[in-house]
Amino acid sequence: MASRQLRTVLEGGGFFEGPRWHEGTWWVSDFYRHTVSRVTSDGAETVVVEVEGQPSGLGWLPDGSLVVVSMKDHRVLRYADGTLSTHADLTEHCGGHLNDLVVTEAGQVFVGDFGFDLMGGGDAGTASLKRIDPDGTVSVAAEGLQFPNGMVITPDGGTLLVGRPSATATPPSTWAPTAR
């Protein structure tokens, strides 16, 4: 078996979340520094944008715009041409802080939330998985999930995988992750 050597790429963060590899660099949110950074393989960090409402999940729309979760105010933000704006407000569909997200090739954004007030000591509850269409329309894609997190879409675009779903989660009759 080949041996692997581990090395620290970036030090000094508060709490890294939403790591993504994009166009040859590592991108990551830092909850407590309220930043989204791009990190090169030699460890050089560039803070790309600050998110007051605490950043989490990251992804890119087909036009190259960065989308990032703003946890505490239940928004998915869009960062393009140096401007940060609201892509969608999910407040009416959230039972706790927003968390992870994933973007389809067609520009749909799937995002989960905690489902309860974790930081305030609330009792554990279930959450829904929300879908944001390219025009910003929000709908519920699945319900009864326990802390949906760690989402990925398979390379063929046909399956959305969600970490930690409940065995009783109710998927939609059709969720159409991509328009193929």
CA 33/CA 128 separation, integer angstroms: 27
Residue with tokens 């605490």: 54
pTM recorded for the entire structure: 0.85
- What are 119's two structure tokens? 């930081």
| Domain 16-163: assigned CATH number | 2.120.10.30
> pLDDT tens digits, residue range 18-76?
889 999 999 999 989 999 999 998 889 999 999 999 999 999 999 999 999 999 999 99
Strands 149-153 and 55-60: unpaired
Identify the burial level of 53 via C-beta atoms within 10 angstroms of its C-beta, where 0-12 means exposed, 13-18 middle and 19 or more buried. Answer: middle
> pLDDT tens digits, residue range 117-139?
666 666 767 888 999 999 999 99
Q: Nearest Cα to 147, choosing from 103, 107, 94?
A: 94
Please tell me the predicted confidence (pLDDT) of residue 163: 81
Q: Nearest Cα to 51, choosing from 93, 101, 95?
A: 101
